[in-house]
Chains A and B, each alone.
Chain A
Amino acid sequence: MGAEFVQLSLTPILIGVLSAIACALPGNFLILRRQALIGDAISHVVLPGIVVAFLVTGSLASLPMLLGAAGAALVAVVLIETVRRLGRIEPGAAMGVVFTAMFAGGVLLLEQSDTSGVHLDVEHALMGNLESLIWFDATGWGSLLDPAALAGLPPELPRIALVAAVMTMLMLVLWRPLKLSTFDEGFAATLGLPVRLIGLGLVAASAVAAVAAFDAVGSIIVIAMFICPPATARLVTERLERQVAWSTVFAALSAVLGYVLAGYGPQWFGAINAVSAAGMIATVSGVILAIACLFAPHRRRVGQPMA
């Protein structure tokens, strides 16, 4: 079990866990700022950007992908503003139109272009390729200490690990201004805090997390991880510090449980093939949220009169 597990399952699980955490961290603040759908929006807009970046550079390297995604986000912002002004409709509707249209455009572009040599197709965009991120060079747990074997790790792992680490660092260093401007932006502004920059920075950090995770695990997980673990965490505590900590726990739990269920679950029911790990991880995160809604100690007191 040991050697096979390390070779086939360890890296996908780690990548899944790190992707989930990288998205859940900024997701905590997006939810509290009533911007939860930005995660959804980013993961849609990113697709055409990544496809265009691939067509231009011919590679799936991180930097062009990130630049492509950033360019697409910029185009999206301009389009939303244009649609909103010319169409005289509310911002939410303008966003919805632009994001779905850009995603659809990305899908068309993807189908028309020759991406047969690389892992870039519609299915990959939605569900990633978690199961294929295996560690060929591993022979067992001992490989974790073997530099030669470590060099053969799928590049997605160090990439997402770096993003998750940077995200954690940013959150620790900028904790106070982030919390303060999320709770009371007007008050934060009177203290001289750059509240607009903080809001923009949060969206930018979310975009980086989304792009990094998108590459490995697809947009389904990105969307689910921005919302489900933080929303679950909000239901089990009344303090932001603990909420963020819990959200990483729920993100990791979803990733591990989802991966195991996708790989082995169908066998328990007599089926032969495994199901999509990305789909299962997202489903598990939703189920955990549903359970928290029913049983968690701090369920939203909707409609309850204030004491």
Chain B
Amino acid sequence: MAMRARDRIELVQGREAEAAARAEAARAAMALREITVSYGESPAVFSVDATFPRDSLVAIVGPNGAGKSTLLKAALGVVPRLSGTVTVFGTPLERARERVAYVPQRASVDWDFPTRVIDVVMMGLYRELGLLGLVRASHRERALACLARVGMTDFATRQIGQLSGGQQQRVFLARALAQGADLYLLDEPFAGVDAATEKAIIDVLKELKGEGRTVVCVHHDLATVADYFDRVLLINTRRIAEGPVAEVFTAENLQATYGGRLASAHIDQLRLSEQG
């Protein structure tokens, strides 16, 4: 039976759209398709699509409980997803793990753990060292260089519990730097840190982007989105909007993301795209 011409055209167009999406995913540092995660009866993240292009600095923004951290964890396989696919640099995550670094929320670990700052940074070299690989002087030097990048050289032999919140966050960032990845996923790196740490962290993140790497941050401070990031993903369980800050970070989209929880007076204070 011959296909009707219109059907055939639609089929071809569909294939083209599919091929275009695949090509985009292959070019992107990370592409998420229809990610759904559920902890209980209602989904924490529902069918979220997102594409993080290479060489970009992306903020994931949304209210508390919107599934921002969950989306990151699901993308990395830390929490199981009900559905969806994750592509990293055009391949499945399992084949590109060494190109991805993850910085969990600071509060997710026990900082009374008996270990030193330098040991935590060395954890970033795990894949390189393997099970029984010898720690060489060169490894130690690299770990120290990563600590220097976040301004923590003097604390290398301190027990991690002796650090302030901001210092702990810097150590976590240094561990991610030690991984030498091309894609960095950070969960609330600016939460509860002092101003000096915030400056130190954003400087490093901008350096990473300058080196052609991709940085994605779960971020909660709407006031700094325009200053720090060039792209934004707005989510509230579902994806609300995604794109360059200049196009997407608008009052309308924020209202859609936060609902009534974000007073219009608050929105007025933000440097939003409409006001240039």
Contact = CB atoms under 8 A, between A and B. Distances in A.
Contacts of B109: 183-184
Contact of A190 (B102, B110, B113, B119): B102
A174 B131 contact: yes
Interface of A: 32, 173-174, 176-177, 179-180, 182-184, 186-187, 189-193, 234, 237-240, 242-243, 300-301, 306-307
A306 B76 contact: no
Contacts of A243: 114
Helix, strand, loop or mixed for chain B's interface? mixed
A173 B132 contact: yes
6 smallest CB-CB distances across A and B, nearest first, come from A238-B159, A190-B102, A186-B104, A189-B78, A190-B76, A240-B114
Nearest to A306: B164
A234 B73 contact: no
Interface stretch (B26-34, B122-130, B221-229): B122-130
B121 interface: no
A116 B89 CA distance: 69
Given A183-B123, A190-B76, A238-B159, A177 B113 contact: no
A169 to B, nearest CB: 12
B114 A238 contact: yes
Contact of A186 (B73, B110, B113): B73
Contacts of B115: 179, 183, 238-240
Nearest to A33: B110
B142 interface: no
**Which of B77, B100, B104 has the most A CB atoms < 10 Å from its CB?**
B104
29 contacts: A32-B110, A32-B113, A32-B114, A173-B131, A173-B132, A174-B131, A179-B115, A183-B110, A183-B113, A183-B120, A184-B104, A186-B104, A189-B77, A189-B78, A190-B77, A190-B100, A190-B101, A191-B97, A191-B127, A193-B126, A238-B116, A238-B161, A239-B116, A239-B119, A240-B113, A300-B112, A301-B161, A306-B163, A307-B164
B162 interface: yes
B131 A177 contact: yes
A186 B131 contact: no
B69 to A, nearest CB: 10
B94 interface: yes
Contacts of A192: 94, 97, 127
A184 B161 CA distance: 14
Contacts of B114: 32, 234, 237-240, 242-243
Nearest to B164: A306
Contacts of A306: 161-165
A173 B131 CA distance: 7
A173 B165 CA distance: 33
Contacts of B269: none
Contacts of B97: 190-192
Interface in B91-111: 94, 97, 100-102, 104, 108-110
A2 B248 CA distance: 85
**Which of B76, B94, B163 has the most A CB atoms < 10 Å from its CB?**
B76
A179 B126 CA distance: 11
Nearest to A190: B102
Contacts of B163: 306-307
Contacts of A182: 113
Contacts of B94: 192
B162 A307 contact: yes
Contacts of A186: 73, 78, 102, 104, 108
A214 B264 CA distance: 67
A234 to B, nearest CB: 6
A277 B94 CA distance: 53
A46 B69 CA distance: 40
A28 to B, nearest CB: 9
A187 B129 contact: no
B123 A187 contact: yes
A242 B159 CA distance: 13
B104 A187 contact: yes
**Which of A179, A186, A189 has the most B CB atoms < 10 Å from its CB?**
A186
B210 to A, nearest CB: 24
A177 B119 CA distance: 13
Nearest to B159: A238
B224 to A, nearest CB: 25
